[in-house]
Structure formats: structure tokens, C-alpha cells
Structure 1
Amino acid sequence: MSQYSISKTRLFEGIWEGIVTAEKGVTDQPHLEPVFEEKPLDQLKLVEVGEGRWTLRIPIPAHILGDGVQTILIRDVMAQETLEVITIISGEAIAEDIRAEMDLLRAELDMLKRAFRRHCLESM
């Protein structure tokens, strides 16, 4: 089991950022590895900001961006455990998902409007 946890802070200008926190008493820098399609990504940057805390910056490579869902795993190399998952959804796949979700929301809203109107008529 890993002695570290990761909390995302933001994704800005193509760089994913987070805070790595060690369990109490652990001061060793973690050995982390971002992995995309079972291949390690380069340029991970880990900077200590306090005892047992580090900022983590991972540039998102342009070659992985495309239509659909892309997933990057951040793994603790020593514990062989995934600590965080970065999911990027883009292109046509997202447009279809949003349209389907909007259709579902419209249908549910129509159902609620009919039920509310029926309730108002019955209670008069």
C-alpha cells in the first residue's frame, strides 16, 4: 500500500497539477510515474513545498489528445499502485454524450412538469 496520496489542484495550459502528501512520519520523496497506454510519460516535475508535501506537475503531451477519452495513470513505482487518474474527454465523443444527457434532462423535466400540473389540478 502506498504511503502517499495525490490531490488535483488544476489543469492549466496543458499542465496537470496536484499536491502529493505523505503519511505521517514519511519524509522520503515519492517515486511517481505517469503512464499512458502502458508507456511512461516524461517530464514529471516534483518539488518539495513542506515536510511530507510536494507539488506535482505533469505536462500533457499533444500526441495523446484526440477524439474520445484518454486516461493517464499516476503510479507509485515503489508500491506498484495507482494513486490518481487523469481523464481527458474531447472531440466528437463528448458532443454526443452532452446531447444525450440534455435529451435525458429534457425528458425528466417534461415528466416533472406534467406531474406538477396534475398535482395542482387535483389539489384545487
Structure 2
Amino acid sequence: MSDFESLGLKSGIWQGILRRDTPPGRVLLVHMGSRVADARATAQDDGSYRIAAAIPSDKLSDGVQTFILLEDGGQDNAQPQPGALHLASLSIVAGEPLDEDMRAEMDLIRSELDLVKKELRRLASA
């Protein structure tokens, strides 16, 4: 992770503060592996950078949607470059399928916890 502090989502704009000595390269908003928008980086008086990215409304739907802020050295409208720096992620949850998504996540967590417990018991008895 980086030195990014999320300020949250308001009126469809995800904002945060990036604290570092050097200005950021191109900052992208990525959804499902594809670039959906560019983020704006604005220098602040304290040497940090305010990052603002508009969440495209056409990418919002029922269920869980995850958006990722990446920084790379790419140009214009190109897709993210390999090795791009992951700054932060934002998950947005909406709609009726939410209950099903949450149940599925809980089931997955329970099954993973069961595997961890079995492995710990095996190691403890060895």
C-alpha cells in the first residue's frame, strides 16, 4: 500500500490525500481491470496532493463494485501499465443482491477459518 488517505465518497467523487515528496504520475480509476476514468491530482500547501476521481454512474449496479486507484507512468487514455502502484481501493455495495453477497462472503470466511483451525490443530498435535 501507499501513503494514500481516503477522504471518502461524496456526490460521486472519491477524494483522498496522497502524502509524499514527489508528485504522482498518472492516477487512474480502474474497475474490473479496465481504466474507467483519470483522477485529478492537485498540490496542497503542505506538500501533499489531493486526489479526486469521479465514479462513473454507469459502473454502479446491484451487488459489490470495487474501484481501484492506480498510479503509473502511462499516457492519455491507455490502459494501466504493468507494475502500476496500487494507491487505494473503494468498494460500493448496493441493491437487494447485497444479502446474497454478504452471505456468500460469510460462508467463504467460515470455510477459510475452518481450514485454518484444522491446520493449527494439525501443527499443534505434531
Instruction: Report if TM-score (shorter chain) is over 0.5.
Output: yes
Gaps of 5+ in 1: 102-124
Q: TM-score, normalised by structure 1?
A: 0.64
- Rounded Cα–Cα distance in structure 2 between residues aligned with 1:15 and 1:87: 13
Aligned residue among 66, 75, 81 for 2:70: 75
Moved over 6 A (4+): none
Q: Is the 8 A contact 2:29 2:38 kept in 1?
A: no
Secondary structure at the aligned position of 2:97 is classed as helix
Deviation, 1:30, is 3.4
Q: Once superposed, what is the RMSD of the aligned Cα atoms?
A: 2.3
- Rounded Cα–Cα distance in structure 1 between residues aligned with 2:29 and 2:3: 14
Gaps of 5+ in 2: 74-82, 107-126
Aligned length in residues: 94
Map of 1:28 onto structure 2: 23
Deviation, 1:83, is 1.5
Structure with larger Rg: 1
Map of 1:60 onto structure 2: 55
- Paired letter, 1:17: Q
- Rounded Cα–Cα distance in structure 2 between residues aligned with 1:83 and 1:27: 14
- Rounded Cα–Cα distance in structure 1 between residues aligned with 2:30 and 2:92: 14
